[in-house]
Each structure stands twice: as structure tokens, then as C-alpha cells.
């Protein structure tokens, strides 16, 4: 399934009747089973419905870092993102890709 960034935003955990999705490097994961983290009030709720690549690479929860842009992160941060990507792949099903 393909999602525009605007379509992905519909899965931002504000509607409990829809699944919660987070994208990493354009790959969309269904993180609904992690609703304590990605659901309302969860520690990572700000990532739901978005591509959180830069934020995960930088280990940041700042709004300006919650983006798919990978301009600027160091090689070490790109490695951190690769680790997150592996964790997501092992734990959550892939449901699609973000397209522009």
C-alpha cells in the first residue's frame, strides 16, 4: 500500500478505531501492538502517523526532527537509525511505503 505523508497522518493514534503507523526511511510499520508507546499519552506518540527517520537517528523527540529528511545526521546517527529499522522489522508488520 502507498501513502502520501498526508494520508499517513491519518494513522497518528488520535482515532482508537484506526491502526497506528510509523514510517522509517519511507517504510510504513503498523505499531498498533505498541499502543502504550505510540498511542495517546505514550512516550513515542509524537511519531505516530509520521516518518520518524531523522528523529530516531538523532534520538530526538523535537518536532523539527520528526521528518523523513536524513540531511545532517552523522554516520553514527545513521547507524543508530539502522538499528531502529532492524528492531521495527523484527517487531512490527510492514504495511506500505510513503510516496511523495
Each residue of 10-46: pLDDT tens digit?
999 898 899 999 999 999 999 999 999 999 999 999 9
Q: Are 38 and 44 in contact (CB under 8 A)?
A: yes
Task: Give this prediction's pTM.
Answer: 0.94
Whole-Å CA distances, 9 to 1, 39, 41, 87, 100: 15, 13, 17, 22, 13
pLDDT of residue 73: 87
Q: Are 93 and 29 in contact (CB under 8 A)?
A: yes
As its CATH architecture, domain 2-97 has Roll (3.10)
* Mean pLDDT confidence for 2-9: 97
pLDDT of residue 81: 96
Q: Are 23 and 45 in contact (CB under 8 A)?
A: no
* Mean pLDDT confidence for 64-80: 93
Please state which of the ranges 27-36, 44-53, 67-76, 89-98 shows the lowest mean pLDDT: 67-76
* Mean pLDDT confidence for 61-84: 93
Whole-Å CA distances, 90 to 44, 55, 86: 18, 20, 6
Q: Where are the domains of the chain?
A: 2-97
The per-residue pLDDT for range 45-57, each reduced to its tens digit, is: 999 999 999 999 9
Q: What is the DSSP string of 10-55?
A: GGSSSSTTS--EEEETTEEEE-GGGHHHHSTT-TTGGGTTSB-HHH
Length of the chain equals 100
pLDDT of residue 100: 80
Amino acid at each position: 500500500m502507498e501513502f502520501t505523508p498526508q494520508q499517513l497522518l491519518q494513522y497518528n493514534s488520535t482515532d482508537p478505531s484506526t491502526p497506528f503507523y510509523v514510517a522509517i526511511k519511507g517504510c510504513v510499520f503498523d505499531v498498533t501492538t505498541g499502543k502504550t508507546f505510540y498511542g495517546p499519552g505514550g512516550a513515542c506518540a509524537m511519531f505516530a502517523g509520521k516518518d520518524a527517520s531523522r528523529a530516531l537517528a538523532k534520538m530526538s523527540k523535537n518536532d523539527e526532527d520528526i521528518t523523513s529528511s536524513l540531511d545532517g545526521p552523522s554516520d553514527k546517527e545513521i547507524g543508530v537509525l539502522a538499528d531502529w529499522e532492524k528492531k521495527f522489522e523484527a517487531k512490527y508488520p510492514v504495511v506500505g511505503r510513503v510516496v511523495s
